[in-house]
């Protein structure tokens, strides 16, 4: 049985698609996309911190900048 990739409910005859994912409703597509955006932002800021290497203070201030500037 195919299930919604966001809320895990079984899909009915109407399937909403986003990339290779399947959702039961447009609301689930939106919710998934928001979650994806958050995950992507998190990964980017983590990469940014990792790229800063051992310069701890620089990494921290850069992390604060990225969180403050995130468009929510
Ligand atoms: Zn759903």
Give tens-digit pLDDT for 15-60: 999 989 999 999 999 999 999 888 888 888 888 888 877 555 555 5
Distance 31 CA to ligand 1 centre (A): 9
Distance 68 CA to ligand 1 centre (A): 31
Mean pLDDT, residues 56-66 taken together: 59
Is the pTM above the cut of 0.75? Answer: no
Q: Enumerate residues 6+ apart whose C-beta is below 8 A from 7.
A: 24, 28, 31
CA 1–ligand 1 middle distance (angstroms): 14
Q: Could you count the other beta carbons within 10 Å of the beta carbon of residue 39?
A: 10
Calculate mean pLDDT across residues 63-69: 62
């Amino acid at each position: 049985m195919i299930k919604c990739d966001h809320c895990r409910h079984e899909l009915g005859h109407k399937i909403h698609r986003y990339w290779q994912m399947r959702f039961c409703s447009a609301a689930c597509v939106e919710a998934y996309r928001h979650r994806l955006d958050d995950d992507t932002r998190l990964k980017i800021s983590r990469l940014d911190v990792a790229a800063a290497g051992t310069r701890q203070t620089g990494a921290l201030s850069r992390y604060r900048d990225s969180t403050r500037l995130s468009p929510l």
